[in-house]
Structure 1
Amino acid sequence: MDLAEMIKILDRQLTTEGRTIHVDKAKEHMRIEQRTSGQGVSLSLSELLRRYHEDGEEALNQTILAIDRGLHAMASAPHLKGKESKIFPVIRSASFPDHTSDGRRLITSAHTAETKIFYALDLGDACRLIDDQFLDQEGLDEQSLIELASFNLSALPIKIKKDVVKNNTFYFIHTNDGFDASRILNRKLVSDMQAKAHGDLTVAIPHQDVLIFGDVVNPEGYDILAQMTMKFYTSGTIRITMLPFIIEKGKLEPIFIMANKRPMPGKSKR
């Protein structure tokens, strides 16, 4: 498949009444918008084509589905009242826009230099990020929103898969509910992982649908962590960061996997 063929597929699958699609072939960029509100989704065509050639048709289908669900969520008029239990924090990259295309400020909290916390209403097939106007309209203040989101997150089920590679133990949370990455904000989960770690406790947040803890006990473990994080990052629909972190005293510090497979900063406990 070439770029022109992919544009035709996207246009056919995403064109509906009430939407407009703009293609900038020179920049290999597509913008799909709701006509009435101007809200929409921007897409790098060259990046999607690369993922198609690496991961096959499934990568293209997943992207189309995610865009379609997101646009339907934008077109709906949800309310927070009666849906308080559906409010959650979501992790995004630090470069993720903190304003909507029409200038509304999205509610955010600080997290790390690489990541930010946003707040979303879970609509089932999609999430709506909560902005200041929506919050005022619903009569809820920011602090109450943050507290509700934190409480709801702590109630989400946690299913962990474990894998041991060269004596390093990796734990995967991958439920695909849209809040896997957000579970790094669950303090009890982090505390429990620290209690069982024998080496450095690391964590990777490559995209929104996976969270990886690593109990790294030898230099090879850092090389495995770096490769694993990159692989998940390149396969994610909503990417967050390819940089893993070390957890010390409950805080996340970025680590850089050097050529000698030693992290900087961070030190082994063994």
Structure 2
Amino acid sequence: MDSIQMKKRLEKRLKTSDRRITFNKKEDKLRIEDIHTEKGITLSLPGVISRYENNQDKGIDEVVYYVDEALKVMQNTQQLKGKEDAIYPVIRSTSFPTETGDGKQLLYKDHTAETRIFYAVDLDQSYRLIDHALMEEEGLHERIVDEMARFNLRSLPFEAKKDVVAGNTFFFVNYNDGYDASRILNPVFLDQMRQRVTGEMAVAVPHQDVLIVADIQNNQGYDILGQMTMNFFSNGYIPITSLPFIYEDEQLEPIFILAKNKPKNE
């Protein structure tokens, strides 16, 4: 499927009387805007085509759902007061935009060389990232938002499914609640996994809806983890990083994995 075919398919699914859809042929992007708020979402068509090739119609369904929910959020003015228990941290890549389309600075803090922590107010079927203007309107401080978000995160379940490959054990957290990757910020979870791991512990957050913990017992385990992380990263709803982390002394260090070799720190 080429970009023109995907453009027509998306227009058919997304076009309404309240939306304006424009196509940037040079950049191969499709822009969907709400005509009332003049806010919208820009889709990279090669990325959508890749999702379609990997997941067929399900991939397009996910993109359409993302656009619909995002535009709904943009229509509403959100408040934080009274929703303190619905504020959570969300992990994003360091390349993720730090301001909204209308120029508002998002609230975030550095996490690792590959990731940053943003903050969101949960809206059941979606969430809104918190910007400085919203925080200041509510009379809150960055430290308070961070503390509330981390406290709420600890209330989320974190049971992991297990798979053993070539003598290496891989644990997967996948609740699809929007905060799977965020569980990497839960020290209780990391401590419990550290106690279960008998080899070297590696952690990966390839996209928003999965967290992988690996119990590496041999060099083949690194190869498997590298391939697994890249696959998840390529097919994820909101990609974060294709680099796993070694977890040691309560620290996360990004690693490059070279085939058939134990990785060296970045």
Normalising by structure 1, we get a TM-score of 0.94
Check conservation: 1:38, 1:101, Cα contact below 8 A: no
- Aligned residue number for residue 220 of structure 2: 220
Give the Cα–Cα distance (whole angstroms) in 1 for the partners of residues 252 and 200 of structure 2.
Answer: 12
Report deviation, 1:34: 2.8
Give the Cα–Cα distance (whole angstroms) in 1 for the partners of residues 249 and 16 of structure 2.
Answer: 50
Check conservation: 2:162, 2:171, Cα contact below 8 A: yes
Identity of aligned residues (%): 47
Check conservation: 1:88, 1:120, Cα contact below 8 A: yes
Equivalent position amino acid for 2:190 in 1? V
- Aligned residue number for residue 83 of structure 1: 83
The verdict on how the C-alpha distance between 1:18 and 1:138 changes in structure 2, with shifts beyond 3 A counting, is farther
- Aligned residue number for residue 201 of structure 2: 201
Q: 1:136-151, aligned counterparts within 5 Å? A: 136-151=136-151
Which region of structure 1 is more displaced relative to structure 2, 136-145 or 32-41?
32-41
Which region of structure 1 is more displaced relative to structure 2, 132-141 or 81-90?
132-141
- Aligned residue number for residue 61 of structure 2: 61
Give the SS at the match of 1:203. Answer: strand
Give the SS at the match of 2:79. Answer: coil
Give the Cα–Cα distance (whole angstroms) in 1 for the partners of residues 116 and 13 of structure 2.
Answer: 32
- Aligned residue number for residue 44 of structure 1: 44
Give the Cα–Cα distance (whole angstroms) in 1 for the partners of residues 19 and 56 of structure 2.
Answer: 27
| Residue 197 of structure 2 corresponds to residue 192 of structure 1 | no
Which region of structure 1 is more displaced relative to structure 2, 120-129 or 189-198?
189-198
- Aligned residue number for residue 11 of structure 1: 11
Give the Cα–Cα distance (whole angstroms) in 2 for the partners of residues 198 and 159 of structure 1.
Answer: 18
RMSD: 1.4
- Aligned residue number for residue 71 of structure 1: 71
Structure 2: segments with no counterpart, 5+ residues: none
Check conservation: 1:31, 1:42, Cα contact below 8 A: yes
Aligned length: 266
Q: 1:190-269, aligned counterparts within 5 Å? A: 190-265=190-265
Give the Cα–Cα distance (whole angstroms) in 1 for the partners of residues 95 and 5 of structure 2.
Answer: 30
- Aligned residue number for residue 93 of structure 2: 93
Give the Cα–Cα distance (whole angstroms) in 2 for the partners of residues 60 and 75 of structure 1.
Answer: 23
Check conservation: 1:204, 1:245, Cα contact below 8 A: yes
Normalising by structure 2, we get a TM-score of 0.96
- Aligned residue number for residue 174 of structure 2: 174
* Structure 1 ranges of 4+ moved more than 6 A: none
Report deviation, 1:77: 1.6
Equivalent position amino acid for 2:121 in 1? L
- Aligned residue number for residue 157 of structure 1: 157
Equivalent position amino acid for 2:220 in 1? E
- Aligned residue number for residue 114 of structure 1: 114
The verdict on how the C-alpha distance between 1:245 and 1:56 changes in structure 2, with shifts beyond 3 A counting, is same
Check conservation: 2:54, 2:235, Cα contact below 8 A: no
- Aligned residue number for residue 32 of structure 1: 32
Give the SS at the match of 2:124. Answer: coil
